[in-house]
Amino acid sequence: MAHSIVDSSGTDLEQERYLRDATHHFRGIEKPLKYGPTIETLNDLITALHKEFDTNYVNIEMVNHIMLSYKSHPREWKRFAKFDRFKYTRNLVDAGNGKFNLMILCWGEGHGSAIHDHADSHCFMKMLKGDLKETRYEMPCSKAIEMPNVDIGEVNGDSDEEQEFEREQLNVVGSTTITVNDVAYINDNLGLHRVENPSHIDTAVSLHLYCPPFNECSVFHKNSGKRIKCPVTFWSKYGVRQAESKK
């Protein structure tokens, strides 16, 4: 069972169950809806998301519409964009009253994630600057190994170390280049993915929405399918760097 960070009240749990059920049939939409709200600024996007999540029965298509409708304005999001020299960073923009997490991920030249799942949640990824390459994989049947002191940004899912486990190489489904203002969508029923900045001269910035929010996920070894559970943390919150002990 995924480790959710949704409040334990009855209404919030009902919304969480509804959202998790929706991962079984929702596949994402490619264009904004004709009847959705107009989103001109990042604040419009955040306000619209709060309104959409103020019900047990979230219209996940409308959430997708909101992410698609926003057009990147660097002056609006640059204060949240915090880079690290060695790995990509996760920077919290809005905690969604515990119902969703909106964050900006910053990718230095050549930075990439491990192959990972999304803890039975919805993941929307919108490009704000540069390009990202997304590679998708089929979900394997491997059991998870706990690694509580490892962060998703620090796990090398392609390492060839530790060959003592049964091998089940991950199958690649396909790869896509995500460009500015594109929105990619994935959930665990669609598989796993790895995201990377293919450029060695330019940085990239993306806006991510996760619902329900979660504080751990699984990363996967490419050549064996080995699954490792690890926490997900924030490099900064609301534009302020988090100390290592307080992430």
200 is in an annotated binding site: no
193 is in an annotated binding site: yes
Distances (CA, A) of 170 to 137, 146, 158, 226: 6, 20, 11, 9
Give the Cα separation of 127 and 96 in Å (integer).
20
Look up residue 37 and give its amino acid. P
Q: What is the pLDDT of residue 5?
A: 54
Written out in words, the top-level CATH class of the domain with range 20-142+168-234 is: mainly beta
Distances (CA, A) of 95 to 58, 71, 140, 191: 17, 21, 31, 25
Kindly state the tokens that stand for 232.
């997900």
Is the alpha carbon torsion for 45, 51, 52, 56 positive or negative? Answer: positive
> What's the chain's Rg over C-alpha atoms?
17
Name 123's bridge partners: 186, 210
Distance of CA 216 to the CA centre of its chain: 12
pTM: 0.88
Residues 140-178 as b/e (b if ≥16 CB within 10 A, e otherwise) read: bebebeeeeeebbbebebeeeeeeeeeeeebeeeeeeeb
Residues 220-236 as b/e (b if ≥16 CB within 10 A, e otherwise) read: bbbebbbbbbbbbbbbb
118 is in an annotated binding site: yes
Name the 3-class secondary structure at 240. Answer: strand
Name the 3-class secondary structure at 34. Answer: coil
Residues whose CB is less than 8 angstroms from the CB of residue 20 and which lie 6 or more positions away in sequence, other chains included? 120, 121, 212
| Pair 57, 18: CB distance under 8 Å | yes
Per-residue pLDDT of the chain (247 residues; tens, 9 = 90+): 344 455 555 678 899 999 999 999 999 999 999 999 999 999 999 999 999 999 999 999 999 999 999 999 999 999 999 999 999 999 999 999 999 999 999 999 999 999 999 999 999 999 999 999 999 999 987 666 655 555 666 555 555 444 333 456 899 999 999 999 999 999 999 999 999 999 999 999 999 999 999 999 999 998 888 899 999 999 999 999 987 544 4
Give the Cα separation of 119 and 230 in Å (integer).
11
Any idea which residue has 């409708």 for tokens?
A: 69
Q: What is the pLDDT of residue 173?
A: 96
Q: What is the pLDDT of residue 225?
A: 85
Q: In the chain, what are the domain boundaries?
A: 20-142+168-234
Distances (CA, A) of 187 to 106, 173, 191: 21, 14, 7
What phi and psi, each to the nearest 5 degrees, are found at residue 144? -85, 145
Q: For the chain, how far is it from start to end, CA to CA, in angstroms?
A: 23
